[in-house]
């Protein structure tokens, strides 16, 4: 991904999802690392922390999608009952981009088989790309590195213009 991003798509949001970080009991090493890397790539980064509460996660994602081209979450993608990030993300997405999650797991699997236990989701909400990263700082950065070559094109595509805007949507009521 190029280090220079255009003004329309250079705003990113890092949402850390962690009971421990939200309570002030743990440092946000994963969110810090992801935000630093995005800054190196030329993004203006906003951040927030929420507990592992589905309604809070959904609300933050919807609000952030209005002003950001990219949202990266860290945490809440594991197998415990408190890990609800994928469910919250799926609830607000217009559509998924499963290849990004598959790529992150595949690349992570080269370092540890635990990567295949991640339930990370990626998708789009109002022209904003949302990607769940694991909570482990190392895994979060490895996952981000795996998708970096694709993020620029994804954001450019979502920003438009769309060469097929004049075509009828397959689900529309217009005759085919």
What band does 164 get if pLDDT is binned at 50, 70 and 90?
low
Q: Which domains does the chain have, with CATH numbers?
A: 7-159 (3.40.980.10)
What's the rounded mean pLDDT across residues 48-59? 98
Q: Percent of the chain beyond pLDDT 70?
A: 88
- Alpha-carbon span 112 to 94, nearest angstrom: 31
Looking at residue 162, its pLDDT comes to 79
Indicate if the pLDDT at residue 168 is higher than 70: no
Comparing CA positions, the residue from 77, 95, 94 lying closest to residue 86 is 77
Nearest alpha-carbon partner for 31 in 60, 7, 55: 60
**Mean pLDDT for the chain overall:** 91
Q: Cα dihedral sign for 31, 37, 38, 42?
A: positive
pLDDT of residue 72: 98
């Amino acid at each position: 991904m190029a280090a220079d991003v255009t003004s329309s798509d250079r705003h990113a949001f890092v949402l850390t999802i962690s009971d421990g970080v939200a309570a002030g009991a743990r440092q946000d090493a994963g969110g810090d690392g992801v935000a630093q890397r995005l800054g190196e790539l030329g993004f203006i980064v906003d951040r927030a922390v929420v507990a592992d509460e589905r309604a809070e996660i959904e609300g933050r994602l919807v609000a952030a999608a209005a002003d950001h081209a990219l949202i990266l979450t860290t945490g809440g993608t594991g197998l415990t009952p408190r890990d609800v990030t994928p469910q919250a993300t799926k609830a607000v997405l217009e559509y998924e981009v499963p290849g990004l999650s598959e790529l992150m797991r595949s690349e992570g699997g080269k370092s540890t088989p635990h990567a295949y236990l991640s339930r990370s989701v990626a998708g789009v909400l109002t022209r904003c790309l949302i990607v769940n990263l694991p909570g482990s700082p190392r895994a979060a950065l490895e996952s981000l590195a795996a998708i970096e070559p694709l993020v620029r094109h994804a954001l450019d595509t979502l920003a438009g213009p769309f060469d097929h805007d004049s075509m009828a949507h397959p689900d529309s009521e217009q005759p085919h």
